[in-house]
Chains A and B, each alone.
Chain A
């Protein structure tokens, strides 16, 4: 199981490196080009490419962050075992729900 988590964290990190770079460049472009929130939502509305990109981004975050947090908690606290794993699955579900909610919101806005 730990080996699979190790692979999942490395693969999601690679995705996040690329997706994070694209996301930051997009933010810089929006901030410097004078687009309003309405302009941005106009472009995200119904855009299948952006929907797919940010869905992938959110999934990568929901995989990567809980695995890393689990390791940090194992090293810095006595918390171990099934309770920790269940908490991290719940944390992953929370990240996924909040992230996908935002992705869907800007897609249908």
Chain B
């Protein structure tokens, strides 16, 4: 049997303990599904794809933010015990489900969206796969917005306005998108006191990203870009 402590409630609440049968190749998502279907139908958690494509099932497993669907109990449990909590640095809706609105508002604040400009190009852009810009964009483009890096970041915990590793990583992919027409506005958006300069380079985001993306390097790239911009005289 597996003893599972699961957070119940919102910001205030308590842990509830469930005993769940161990199964071969069991994932943390299997565990919460067993609890909800067999023991307590009021347990709230979020999932969609079950195979590491959507990022919906991110939660804190034994102290670390992880995807429930891609985390095997055998690798995460300690002495047949699991502790499941909602992602940190997010408002809790209920139990293991968190509110993502603020997270994606920060993507918007970082101008983390493609801007084609007022006069889109007449033809397809030719972007060499070997160009430095393309490689820099490729390094961060597979982010699926699961929020694990945001949950792992100490600076997000300290500064509620900090844009966070996911939004800044997205901004860096767009800075390197040669088709994008909002480079200056984007660099201005990430230049503030709660932008890329607030990063302490703890690298928790880079260590824990399930997609093996390195937001820390993206943020370092943004720092170089805004320094160049500032030295050119832009404010």
Q: Which residues of A contact B (CB under 8 A)?
A: 1-7, 71, 74-76
**Chain B residue with minimal CB distance to A78?**
B160
Number of A-B contacts (CB under 8 A): 29
19 examples of A-B residue contacts, CB within 8 angstroms = A1-B235, A2-B192, A2-B195, A3-B191, A3-B197, A3-B226, A3-B227, A3-B229, A4-B230, A5-B197, A6-B223, A6-B227, A6-B230, A7-B227, A7-B231, A71-B198, A74-B159, A74-B193, A75-B159
B158 to chain A, nearest CB (A): 4
> Please, how many angstroms separate the alpha-carbon atoms of A75 and B193 in the complex?
11
B204 to chain A, nearest CB (A): 15
Q: Chain B contacts of A2 at CB under 8 A?
A: 191-193, 195, 197
**B226's contact among A6, A74, A75, by CB below 8 Å, is which?**
A6
Most A-side CB within 10 Å, residue of B158, B193, B230: B193
> Please, how many angstroms separate the alpha-carbon atoms of A3 and B224 in the complex?
10
Instruction: With A2-B191, A3-B227, A4-B230 given, name 20 new contacts (CB 8 A).
Output: A1-B235, A2-B192, A2-B193, A2-B197, A3-B191, A3-B197, A3-B226, A3-B230, A5-B197, A6-B197, A6-B226, A6-B230, A7-B227, A7-B230, A71-B198, A74-B159, A75-B155, A75-B158, A75-B159, A76-B158
Q: Chain A contacts of B195 at CB under 8 A?
A: 2
**Chain B residue with minimal CB distance to A1?**
B235
> Please, how many angstroms separate the alpha-carbon atoms of A6 and B197 in the complex?
7
Q: Chain A contacts of B198 at CB under 8 A?
A: 71
The A-contacting residues of B in range 99-158, CB under 8 angstroms, are 155, 158
> Please, how many angstroms separate the alpha-carbon atoms of A71 and B197 in the complex?
10
B175 to chain A, nearest CB (A): 14
The DSSP consensus for interface residues of chain A is helix
> Please, how many angstroms separate the alpha-carbon atoms of A48 and B105 in the complex?
56
**Chain A residue with minimal CB distance to B226?**
A3
A53 to chain B, nearest CB (A): 27
Q: Chain A contacts of B223 at CB under 8 A?
A: 6
The A-contacting residues of B in range 214-235, CB under 8 angstroms, are 223, 226-227, 229-231, 235
> Please, how many angstroms separate the alpha-carbon atoms of A4 and B232 in the complex?
11
B161 to chain A, nearest CB (A): 9
**Chain A residue with minimal CB distance to B191?**
A3
> Please, how many angstroms separate the alpha-carbon atoms of A6 and B198 in the complex?
9
Q: Chain A contacts of B230 at CB under 8 A?
A: 3-4, 6-7
Q: Chain A contacts of B192 at CB under 8 A?
A: 2
> Please, how many angstroms separate the alpha-carbon atoms of A84 and B192 in the complex?
15
4 nearest A-B pairs in the assembled complex, by CB-CB distance: A3-B230, A75-B158, A6-B197, A3-B226
* A-contact bits for B76-95, CB 8 A (1 contact / 0 none): 00000000000000000000
B197 to chain A, nearest CB (A): 4
Q: Chain B contacts of A6 at CB under 8 A?
A: 197, 223, 226-227, 230
A88 to chain B, nearest CB (A): 12
> Please, how many angstroms separate the alpha-carbon atoms of A5 and B158 in the complex?
20
